[in-house]
Amino acid sequence: MDKTPNFALTSLQKYDLPVEQSNRQEKFLQLRRDFPVFTFEEYEFSFGEHGLDIWFHFNLAGQHQFYPTIFIPRKSFFLPEEQFFSHLPLLVFNLGLIELISYWKAACSPLLVIKPHFLEPEQITWWKKTWFRGLGEFFYLNGIIIGPDEFMQVDVASDRKLMPVLMSFVPETIIPVGGGKDSVVTMELAGKRPGTVPMILNPRGASVHSIFTAGYTHSGMFGIHRTLDPLLLQLNDMGFLNGHTPFSALLAFLSILASVITGKKYIALSNESSANEPTIPRLGVNHQYSKTVEFEADFRAYTAQFISPEIEYFSFLRPLNEIQIAALFSQYPRYFPVFKSCNAGSKTDSWCGTCPKCLFTYIMLAPFLNPETLQTIFQKEMFQDAGLVPVFEKLVGLSEEKPFDCVGTVAENRAAVAELLARSEGLQLPLLLNHFSTQETLHAAPRGQLPDFLGAWDPHHFLPPDFETILKGAINA
């Protein structure tokens, strides 16, 4: 795959939305007038007995100050402090550049001032693309009409340059774990390599239970505790703008920090080829932008040029689709009681049973698990829930847009449902499957194509040869 992506936003156009849909456009414009400047003032960090503490200071037009924090507990597998401490300014500064977007979006100030360090013009281009594309859902759902050229001007108010990391790395792996089926598959396959460390942001519930089930211990986990400034939530309650940010891009920079602190060369994500499909195809808006192969290519290039050419950031599951991942996951029943993919239920470590992510996961697993097992996992028969008809229609392509969630492609959902219909011929169908079978527009939907998905291999990936061999072996088996 071409490893020299173009950072420029040449293919992205401003959203061509009717004015009547832009119900928050005037609010957006007024906030930009009231808060014309957002400043990345400074960062601080300290590494002590308990671990690494990081503070950021962001300034919204001199009227609101934000101080988000990150804490990483010290672990025995960290490198000696003298081997990585001098690189922390570079790593923390870049973390601040992705962290700030959560606070900038409250008022979308037209001018962003960067005070801590210098940025090359190519870096500014990269960051503007990452921010703009990563905020695609935010702009769309808020009805904001803006283009990539005018959404933000960046002023770098420092000439202090940071040098790339110069150090050796061992061929061991960091695996970010979120607690869903995807990271479980990565742990079960790529995680068998010696020296593997799971990384968890804000450890809790399914993510911690998943790594314990995989055989890791708390002492062997790279934990990260991120705290939002509560002022941001207060501003949201006051009517400032709010919405989705490129969370996976934040995770990417955190994983680079983990790589340098531990000296481990490989960062194995669990993003699949299905993430490349836009949520709003006509606009190119993708809820999962920072999980796409486009972002992965851009991030690898940025890392190699401005951080370290030795670190290998890649998605282990990139050649696969969601159906293949569900098939692999179904072979690991010990995870069935602990894994969770529901965002709504993340705080209570449960499946809400009503959101797009729950229904999508149910659909993907249904061809590979019996109904009793599905009932045990999700605590309900989701195909019988009439309230899920609107969500179901979005998943199978009866709407112009997919749900704004990590839910795979329309073709995958259709193929899984069609497979279930083929197996149920002559039997009474549950409500949602019956609804699918009666839709005239879906009579041409693929039936019996599950083997085609199961045998697929997307060549657009960045897997190192050893990892590619492991994944191909699992698929062939």
- pLDDT single digits (tens) 23-32: 689 999 999 9
Judgement on whether residues 151 and 193 belong to the same structural domain of the protein: yes
Q: Report the pLDDT averaged over residues 377-389.
A: 94
By mean pLDDT, which of 2-16, 250-264, 303-317, 348-362 is the weakest?
2-16
User: pLDDT of 145-167, one tens digit each?
Assistant: 999 999 999 999 999 999 999 99
Determine contact, residues 64/84, Cβ cutoff 8 Å: no
Q: In this structure, is residue 467 part of a structural domain?
A: no
Q: In this structure, is residue 1 part of a structural domain?
A: no
Please state, in angstroms and rounded to a whole number, the distance separating the CA atoms of residues 130 and 104.
14
Q: Residue 251: is its pLDDT beyond 60?
A: yes
Please state, in angstroms and rounded to a whole number, the distance separating the CA atoms of residues 29 and 38.
15
Q: Residue 447: is its pLDDT beyond 70?
A: no
Judgement on whether residues 242 and 374 belong to the same structural domain of the protein: no
pLDDT at residue 19, rounded to an integer: 42
Domain enclosing residue 302, as ranges: 19-315
Q: In this structure, is residue 156 part of a structural domain?
A: yes
Judgement on whether residues 35 and 131 belong to the same structural domain of the protein: yes
pLDDT at residue 117, rounded to an integer: 98
Q: Residue 442: is its pLDDT beyond 60?
A: no
Q: What is the number of domains present in the chain?
A: 2
Q: Report the pLDDT averaged over residues 202-230.
A: 96
CA dist 460 to 3, 41, 211, 309, Å? Answer: 11, 39, 29, 20
Is pLDDT larger for residue 24 or for residue 388?
388
| Mean pLDDT of all residues belonging to the chain | 92
Q: In this structure, is residue 109 part of a structural domain?
A: yes
Q: Residue 365: is its pLDDT beyond 80?
A: yes
Judgement on whether residues 96 and 245 belong to the same structural domain of the protein: yes
Q: Report the pLDDT averaged over residues 47-72.
A: 98
Q: In this structure, is residue 330 part of a structural domain?
A: no
Phi, psi of 230 (to 5 degrees): -60, -20
Please state, in angstroms and rounded to a whole number, the distance separating the CA atoms of residues 265 and 256.
9
Judgement on whether residues 197 and 81 belong to the same structural domain of the protein: yes
| End-to-end C-alpha distance for the chain, whole angstroms | 26
Judgement on whether residues 264 and 357 belong to the same structural domain of the protein: no
Please state, in angstroms and rounded to a whole number, the distance separating the CA atoms of residues 283 and 109.
24
Judgement on whether residues 62 and 189 belong to the same structural domain of the protein: yes
Q: In this structure, is residue 6 part of a structural domain?
A: no
Please state, in angstroms and rounded to a whole number, the distance separating the CA atoms of residues 93 and 96.
5
Q: Report the pLDDT averaged over residues 311-329.
A: 98
Judgement on whether residues 347 and 281 belong to the same structural domain of the protein: no
Phi, psi of 154 (to 5 degrees): -110, 125
Q: Residue 14: is its pLDDT beyond 60?
A: no
Q: Residue 12: is its pLDDT beyond 80?
A: no
With cut-offs at 50, 70 and 90, classify the pLDDT of residue 1.
low
Percent with pLDDT over 70 in the chain: 93
pLDDT at residue 210, rounded to an integer: 97
pLDDT at residue 245, rounded to an integer: 96
Determine contact, residues 221/215, Cβ cutoff 8 Å: no
With cut-offs at 50, 70 and 90, classify the pLDDT of residue 422.
confident
By mean pLDDT, which of 74-83, 185-194, 442-451 is the weakest?
442-451
Q: In this structure, is residue 459 part of a structural domain?
A: no
Judgement on whether residues 310 and 364 belong to the same structural domain of the protein: no
Judgement on whether residues 253 and 361 belong to the same structural domain of the protein: no
Q: In this structure, is residue 10 part of a structural domain?
A: no
Judgement on whether residues 187 and 260 belong to the same structural domain of the protein: yes
pLDDT at residue 449, rounded to an integer: 84
Judgement on whether residues 117 and 223 belong to the same structural domain of the protein: yes
Percent with pLDDT over 90 in the chain: 83
pTM: 0.94
